[in-house]
Copies of this chain bind each other. A is one copy, B any other.
Amino acid sequence: MIDKKNEPGDTSLQPLEKISMTDRVESRLGEYFKSQGLVPGDPIPKELEIAEALGVSRNVVREALSRFKMLGMIETKKRRGMVMTQPDILNSLERVLDPYLLDSHARKEIFELRLVLEMGLSHLLFARIRKEHIAELEEIVQRELNAKSVKERVQCDIDFHATLYKIAGNDILRRFQKLLLPVFDYELSYELKLKDKVSQGKVTHQGLLRILQTGTPQEFESAMYEHLKPHFDTIS
């Protein structure tokens, strides 16, 4: 990574030396945090101490620390200087999951990842579903039956699946699927452009809901597969 940015013969006017130095300092600090087994709340050395210890300028250290701050791994506390914090693990993922920045291969992989998550939810759903969840899903299914446009139906589709993730009761999972959504949408609207309709599996949302009410996790897995089958069929 560092070497790549330090290409010889680079004639652009960016401060390459320094960028590369930031990468190095960042990497050294990351190793240091791990090797010290630092946990949230533990103080870290001051900017000046780090600069002196590594023999680099304070600006470089500040840039590297700024990266860790962005990741949520360190923060500045009143009267205590910088301390380690529990990072929000999806925060940085959120920044990079832009369908326009990903090539078709990456988008395809993310699309598959969503299929995997959806298929794997079943047991969490059955362990955690409550009455009010059923009511929520019923409302969405009803709305879908009354939908007058493709756009409304697509929204019901999104709502139904998002509600499943909510029911699964795992916050990281729920936010993760939300992050994948723009990429998934991008792929779907591509399909919509090609075929003028979104492929539907044999099992509808209503069918899935019925199994959640009276069926088993295994039945739900099979039904979800049928529901997603048009997407699975594109896998090669």
Contact = CB atoms under 8 A, between A and B. Distances in A.
Interface of A: 5, 7, 9-16, 19, 22-23, 26, 30, 33-34, 37-40, 46-47, 59, 62-63, 66-67, 69-73, 75-82, 84-89, 91-93, 95-98, 100-103, 106, 109-110, 112-113, 115-124, 127, 168, 170-173, 176, 217-218, 221-222, 225, 232, 235-236
Nearest to A176: B113
A103 B171 CA distance: 14
17 contacts: A10-B76, A12-B76, A12-B78, A13-B46, A14-B47, A30-B95, A38-B100, A38-B101, A71-B92, A86-B103, A89-B97, A113-B172, A113-B176, A115-B120, A116-B120, A118-B120, A124-B235
Contacts of A171: 109
Q: For the complex of A and B, list the 6 residue pairs with the smallest distance between their C-beta atoms, beginning with the closest.
A: A120-B120, A92-B92, A116-B120, A119-B120, A87-B96, A14-B76
Contact of A40 (B34, B69, B92, B101): B101
A19 B66 contact: yes
Among A16, A37, A39, A66, max chain B CB count under 10 A is at A66
Among A10, A95, A97, max chain B CB count under 10 A is at A95
A123 B38 CA distance: 40
Contacts of A122: 119
How many copies of the chain does the oligomer comprise?
A: 2
Nearest to A174: B109
Contacts of A14: 47, 76, 81-82
A37 to B, nearest CB: 6
A173 B79 contact: no
Contacts of A101: 38-40, 73, 84-87
Contacts of A82: 14
Given A12-B80, A34-B100, A86-B106, 14 more contacts: A19-B76, A39-B101, A66-B66, A67-B70, A73-B95, A85-B101, A87-B101, A87-B102, A115-B120, A116-B117, A116-B173, A119-B119, A120-B120, A123-B235
Contacts of A40: 101, 103
